[in-house]
Structure 1
């Protein structure tokens, strides 16, 4: 039996799984990752932790699951995007997507190139790698000179470690502030005019293109057979979109992970349908664009709420769920603005903060817990409505957050729409990433065929909205929308 090995590198964890020709999962394994937070909006990870995570997962495959490395026919990936990851002989931390240190540089780029969004298809923000590269040149020129190349997705670093080649995919490229969405190529003249060396950028490939083969050195360390093909794979948004079964125009879904987003598929020609604050990303099927509205505050806020109100004990997850359920819908009037790390859509404000409003003498701990979850769901409602306001019907939800039945039910009530959650939803990005390998190996005839064969909704859990709660949340949502505008002056003056 042959397998495709898939690695999905997120922010809090790295997952690995083997899929056979029928897309059956084997060896599903996860490794926790550490994130380093610093002053002035710095958010970093050690790229070597990703590599060590891969080695731990493969060790389990060979030693615990007794998989023969010779059965692995191809390796592919999904990974967090918008990172700046140096390639050099010495180990250096990666600047993550949520890092906002390059705000001034982003403003300068937009002032110098006011029409850059029309050129690239996306605007430049503090999170954009092009702004971070400019920050690096300005603040650490001595380090910039020592770096041979940069890559922009966590999975790109693993590809480099396996195959000694620097590449990235076009979904990831769309987030860099340097790739032309229409041509799928680097906008070289613009990049050079900023003082960035174009030679340090990775080669742009499609997800199904072979980036290289496992080197002898990597084979000895990882256990993979030497010369096993290594695909370019896709940034997490592309893989998750495939995992949600969204390949045709109008398909929409929600992703609930450490961060989150709502997304809709559009045609390449649908430029007039752009939503303010949303990214336009090249999809894995090359004739489509993912219009994606990203949220910084999703699973991280759930984790904060759980630790703050239910404690850090091993059973705190279940305890937090019980707290949320013990408070009535509406949290006894308590509202929560979930901007713990600033926000980028629909509010683009790195200085935004979280806030509770509506505390009264009868407010209890369970109300705070439920208000946290309702605040996250209201934030999702903002971006879902902005992308998909005219449509109705069930919406697919994927990501680790779907493990919480309480969260899913509150989201269904806030959206007023049924939610469809597939079995093993947290591994849907890995399944989506595998699609390119299935096509390359001839196990699927194309991306639509892959979805038809392996993305059935028959085993999905459906959360139906409760009409009484829907009406209550519609009223509460209108008050929620007033929180950020009302507090913005406080953020600015603080």
Structure 2
């Protein structure tokens, strides 16, 4: 079973050969297009039909950008697909996409499990330019013979198409009960809760992605999670390639500073921000700098800023999700007791570390 990151886009020809490199969620070239869509008359209905925040991360915005700015590539493209679809195509020779990955494209009708006519019209494409949508439990065992030879995997083995990493992290964390939230922080971060229906908040633009036909994973994502730590290590501690000991040193320094970093505040928007701001042009800011602030203060303020960004998302989607009883955490940040305690203090929530491994991979196995 497969877990895969969301929002990627690759333009391929009729033989499945890429015409572009993979474009990931962090690409902001379509920011102006997304902004126009969001505030257009059809913005709210588009959001509610597709469940995807209208932002530069979405393949919908990126496809429109190619149509408007690279007519040559747009005309050559046989399919607009994700990295997962490319992998699946090379295994089986057909273009198929699971409902979960499709639900994060801005092109998929999450209520009727088909491509959205409204979104396709905006993109300027027909369904033949996209893969065939299938359930996340869809499986097949007709892998190409050459793949069997390369991998040594038995040709009778069944392959389950799976879902996106965010939805599977909920499943892998056991966060499928009322009031139980899954929080994952890797390079970026996300807060998600399971629901039997979409939980819309157009102002905060929370997402509603499909785990299966009966389960929506709702919440919000931030751009700047673990990447802030890597930025700190590289630029405040001159460590370009960090080891486990380097992270330990960083957290040890953070512990020497009291909560609040003596009034130093950090807005962690180094790569713009997604929920709930949705501003590709936002940037990082240290505010309240005084002579008393040391390297350690800057480090702690930055980590506090990431935790407050997560809390901002929690506040936004708790307006529709109801009372949050517990937050189940996964991702790289669970390796740090300092970061976990800081997150618990700032959110005021009970955090439960369900496992140190990748919850998304565990979810794929469960699926």
TM-score w.r.t. the length of structure 1 is 0.68
1:391 counterpart residue number: 323
Cα deviations by residue, 1:13-71 (Å, 9 ceiling, x for unpaired): xxxxxxxxxxxxxxxxxxxxxxxxxxxxxxxxxxxxxxxxxxxxxxxxxxxxxxxxxxx
Instruction: For residue 321 of structure 1, report the CA deviation from its aligned partner.
Output: 1.5
Q: CA deviation at 1:89?
A: 2.5
Map Cα deviations across residues 250-282 of structure 1 (whole Å, 9 max, x no partner). 3312111111111122222x6567772201112
- CA distance in 1 between counterparts of 2:247 and 2:59 reads 35
Q: Which residue of 1 aligns with 2:291?
A: 361
Range moving further from structure 2, 234-243 or 216-225: 216-225
From 404, 418, 421, the equivalent of 2:350 is 418
Q: CA deviation at 1:166?
A: 1.7
| Cross-structure match for 1:59 | none
Q: How many residues align?
A: 357
Q: Does 1:139 align with 2:69?
A: yes
1:137 deviation in Å? 2.1
**1:79 and 1:155 in contact (8 A); partners too:** yes
Residues 334, 368 of structure 1: 8 Å contact kept? yes
**Residue in structure 1 matching 2:279, options 334, 345, 349:** 349
Q: Which residue, 348, 351, 358 being the options, matches 1:427? A: 358
Gaps of 5+ in 1: 1-75, 437-494
Bigger RCO (CA 8 Å, 6+ sep) = 2
Post-superposition shift, 1:391?
2.6
**Rg (Cα) greater in structure:** 1
Can you list the C-alpha shifts for 1:205-251, whole angstroms capped at 9, x where unaligned? 11110155321122233332335322211111111111121223433
Structure-2 residue corresponding to 1:93: 21
CA 1:98 to 1:272, structure 2 compared with 1: closer, same or farther past 3 Å? Answer: closer
Structure 1 residue 80: deviation in Å? 0.8
Instruction: Report the TM-score, using the length of structure 2 for normalisation.
Output: 0.90
Q: In the superposition, relative to structure 1, how do residues 356 and 104 fare at CA in structure 2: closer, same or farther (>3 Å)?
A: closer
Q: Does 1:82 align with 2:7?
A: yes
Tell me which of 265, 283, 287 is aligned to 2:211.
283
Q: How does 1:10-409 map to 2 (within 5 A)?
A: 76-87=1-12, 88-90=16-18, 92-110=20-38, 111=40, 113-114=42-43, 115-152=45-82, 154-188=83-117, 190-192=119-121, 194-210=123-139, 213-268=142-197, 271=199, 276-284=204-212, 286-312=213-239, 314=243, 315-388=245-318, 391=323, 393-409=325-341
* Unaligned stretches of 5+ residues in structure 2: none
